Structure 1
Amino acid sequence: MAKTSITTLNMKRKFNVPAEKVFDAWTKADTIKKWMFTMEHTNKVAKSNPRVGGTWEVVDHRDGKDYRAIGEYKLVEPPAKLVFTFKMPQFSDLEDDITVEIESLESGCEMIFTQEINVIHEKDWTTEDIQKAHEDWKKDTEQGWHYMFLGLKELVEKGNITYPSF
């Protein structure tokens, strides 16, 4: 098995809706299929059983290929905290841990997102190589979540997502 290490991605976002609405968007299949690793018009599967030990799954179909994301819920405390695993088995057997904390504010809520990202090492990597890989993986992962969180914000605040045309 390849050697790995972990780097941590932290992101925060504010929403002008109650914490319950954001929590539901993370756990209900009918909303997950609109924003999380997929878009409603490319989604083939969206499942969620938000309880400790329950699983979630998203299958997105683009350019003739299926992209599958799966995980298991480790902690479910509505509407404040969610901890789950994340894996895309077509790319790797490695599983990341994701924590979503949602704090109610006087107006709306704030989401604190943390992902423990498994970074695969190449043979003979130096400490500098590992550090650069951590920065690169974190940057790429953050970019993906940034776009998903834009969709999440639109979905919970406006009720739908205006998908860009590429």
Structure 2
Amino acid sequence: MSAPAIIQASLTIEREFDFPVAKVFSAWTSAEAKRQWFARDTDTLKVEEYALDFRPGGVERCNGRHARGTFTNDGVYHYIVENEKIVFTYYMTVGGEPYSVSLETLEFEARGNGTLLKLTEHNAFLAGKDENLSRTEGLKWGLGRLNDAFIEGRL
């Protein structure tokens, strides 16, 4: 039996936040901060393990359960310019099976008193299905959770 085709796809999302660059950037830099939005439990998402070592060469690990079963998300940070840029890669599994490998860049730009965040991701989906639309919606949902964390005063 041969392995499924690898589907290549890319996406870019721009999101404006009504908060300064330093505040938006800092939401990515510690386990405590990311637990407030990225690794926060919901009715359908339970995070069982979360760790973050935010530095070039540092790793991030998130695993748990959601509607599609178990998941793992293992990342490595490659390039960080404080308050400007983050570049990292991550590998995901779903239900114990390889799901995707991704390269993500984040660019932070001041817009008045707020921030324009540009997120670009290049994905290799490993199960032979194009999941780029689902990934895009998931990332937009996550950025919405980040904004909610700011508004609710958790960050």
TM-score bracket for this pair, using the shorter chain length = 0.7 to 0.9
Deviation readout 1:79-109 (Å, 9 max, x if unpaired): 1100111111433174210111111121210
User: Conserved in 2, the CA contact under 8 Å of 1:34 and 1:40?
Assistant: no
1:145 aligns with 2:149: no
1:57 aligns with 2:61: yes
Deviation readout 1:52-83 (Å, 9 max, x if unpaired): 111111123457x6422110001111111001
Q: 1:5 to 1:27 in 2, by over 3 A?
A: same
Q: Tell me the equivalent position of 2:26.
A: 24
- Report the secondary structure of 1:27's partner residue: coil
1:107 aligns with 2:109: no
Q: Which letter does structure 1 place at the counterpart of 2:98?
A: S
Q: Tell me the equivalent position of 2:12.
A: 10
Structure 1 or 2: larger helix share?
A: 1
Aligned length: 147
Could you tell me the TM-score, scaled by structure 2's length? 0.81
Q: Tell me the equivalent position of 1:39.
A: 40
Q: Tell me the equivalent position of 2:82.
A: 78
- Report the secondary structure of 2:144's partner residue: helix
Please tell me the root mean square deviation across aligned C-alpha atoms, in Å: 2.4
User: Conserved in 2, the CA contact under 8 Å of 1:13 and 1:111?
Assistant: yes
Deviation readout 1:23-54 (Å, 9 max, x if unpaired): 12122101212322x32463332211111111
CA distance in 2, matches of 1:27, 1:3: 35
Gaps of 5+ in 2: none
Structure 1 or 2: larger strand share?
A: 2
| Aligned mate of 2:153, from 149, 159, 166 | 159
User: Conserved in 1, the CA contact under 8 Å of 2:98 and 2:126?
Assistant: no
Q: 1:145 to 1:93 in 2, by over 3 A?
A: closer
Over the matched positions of the two proteins, sequence identity in percent amounts to 20
User: Conserved in 1, the CA contact under 8 Å of 2:100 and 2:123?
Assistant: no
